[in-house]
Chain A
Amino acid sequence: MRFLSDKILKWIVFILAVLAVYFLATAFYIPVKAIIAQNLLHSAWQSTLAGDTSVKPWPWADTWPVARLRVPTLNIDQIVLDGDQGSSLAFGPGQRVHSVNDKSSGLTMISAHRDTHFKFLQYVKLGHRIELQNEFGDVNTYQIEDMQIIDSEVMGIRAPEQGQWLTLVTCYPFNVLDSNGPLRYVVFAEQIKPCASESCQS
Chain B
Amino acid sequence: MLHQNNDIEKNTFVNKKENDLLKVILDVIQHVLILITFLMFFSFVQVAMAAAEDNQNALLLYSTGSNESRSAAMVRTDVDMRVSGMINHTLLTQVFKNSRDEWVEGIYQFTLPESVVVDTLRIQMGERVIYSEIKSNARALTQYQNAKKTGKRTALLEQHRANIFSSKIANIAPGEEVRIEISFQYLVKYEQGEFKLRFPMAMLPRYLLGVTVSEWADFDPSILNGLNENQLANTIRLRYPVTGSDKPVPVSLHIELDAGFPLVELDSRYHAIHKTNHGSGRYSIRFKSGIVLSKRDFELFWRPEPGQRPRTSVFHEKLGDEHYYFAMLYPPQPELSDQTLLNKEVVYVIDTSGSMAGVSIRQARDAMLTALDDLDPEDFFNIITFNTQTHSLFKQSRPASVLNVARARQFIALTNARGGTEMLPALKKALAYNESDARLRQIIYLTDGAVVNEQEVFELLRKNIQQNRLFTIGIGPSPNSYFLHNAARIGRGTYTYISNINEVSMRLGKFLKKINRPVLQNIKIEHLSGKAEVVPQNIPDLYAYEPVVFSMKANEPVGVVNIVGYRADEQWSRRLQLTDSNNGFGVAKYWARQKIKAYLDASTDMNKTKKLEKSITAIALKHKIMSPYTSLVVVDKSLTGNPSKRIYSHPIPARLTSMQNMQVKTGQVIPLLAKTATDTQLKFIVGLVSLLLAVLVRIFLRRRYQNREWL
Binding site for B on A (CB under 8 A): 1, 6, 9-10, 12-13, 16-17, 19-28, 30-31, 84-86, 89-90, 94, 96-102, 105, 107, 109, 111-116, 118, 122, 125-127, 145-152, 154-163, 165, 169-173, 175, 177-181, 183-184, 186, 188, 190
Contacts and interface: CB of A to CB of B under 8 A. Distances in A.
Given A152-B672, A159-B647, 8 more contacts: A6-B701, A107-B647, A111-B672, A145-B638, A150-B672, A151-B150, A159-B667, A186-B672
Interface residue tally on B, bucketed by range: 35 or more
8 contacts: A10-B701, A13-B698, A16-B694, A17-B694, A154-B652, A157-B649, A158-B667, A163-B645
Interface in B608-667: 638, 643-652, 656, 659, 662-667
Interface in B657-711: 659, 662-688, 690-691, 693-694, 697-698, 700-701, 704
Contact of B672 (A26, A163, A169): A169
Nearest to B125: A126
Nearest to A167: B647
Contacts of A155: 150, 649-652, 672
Given A126-B127, A150-B151, A173-B64, A9 B701 contact: yes
Contact of B678 (A13, A105, A115): A115
A116 B171 CA distance: 24
A25 B691 CA distance: 12
B670 A156 contact: yes
Contacts of B679: 179
Contact of A94 (B101, B674, B686, B704): B674
B665 A163 contact: no
Contacts of B659: 96
Interface in B385-411: none
B665 A159 contact: yes
A170 B676 contact: yes
Given A9-B700, A98-B662, A161 B674 contact: no
A175 B701 CA distance: 37
Contacts of A126: 126-128
Contacts of B152: 148
Contact of A146 (B638, B668, B682): B638
Contact of B648 (A26, A111, A148): A148
A160 B666 contact: yes
A180 B645 CA distance: 30
Contacts of A109: 670, 672
Nearest to A105: B666
Contacts of B128: 126
A4 B662 CA distance: 62
Interface of B: 63-65, 101-103, 126-128, 149-152, 171, 173-174, 638, 643-652, 656, 659, 662-688, 690-691, 693-694, 697-698, 700-701, 704
Given A19-B687, A24-B684, A122-B174, A13 B651 contact: no
A88 to B, nearest CB: 9
Nearest to A153: B652
A21 B126 CA distance: 44
Contacts of A101: 665-666
B373 to A, nearest CB: 66
B672 A99 contact: no
Nearest to A145: B645
Contacts of B693: 16
Nearest to A179: B677
Contact of B701 (A13, A24, A84, A107): A13
B649 A20 contact: no
A113 B666 contact: no
Contacts of B127: 125-127
Given A12-B697, A156-B650, A186-B649, A99 B662 contact: yes
Contacts of A181: 677
A112 B666 CA distance: 25
A150 B691 CA distance: 37
Contacts of A17: 690-691, 694
Given A20-B687, A24-B684, A1 B700 contact: yes
B684 to A, nearest CB: 4
Contacts of B126: 125-126
Contacts of A161: 643-644, 646-647, 666-667
Contacts of B646: 158, 160-161
Nearest to B675: A86
Contacts of A105: 666
B672 A184 contact: yes
A148 B151 contact: yes
Contacts of A107: 647, 664, 670
B662 to A, nearest CB: 5
Given A97-B662, A159-B665, A161-B667, A115 B681 contact: yes
A105 to B, nearest CB: 8
Contact of A20 (B103, B174, B675, B694): B694
B102 A173 contact: yes
Contacts of B64: 149, 173, 183
A83 to B, nearest CB: 9
Nearest to B704: A6
A90 B480 CA distance: 66
Contact of B647 (A12, A13, A30, A188): A188
Given A97-B662, A98-B664, A147-B173, A156 B672 contact: yes
Contacts of B688: 20, 24
Nearest to B708: A6
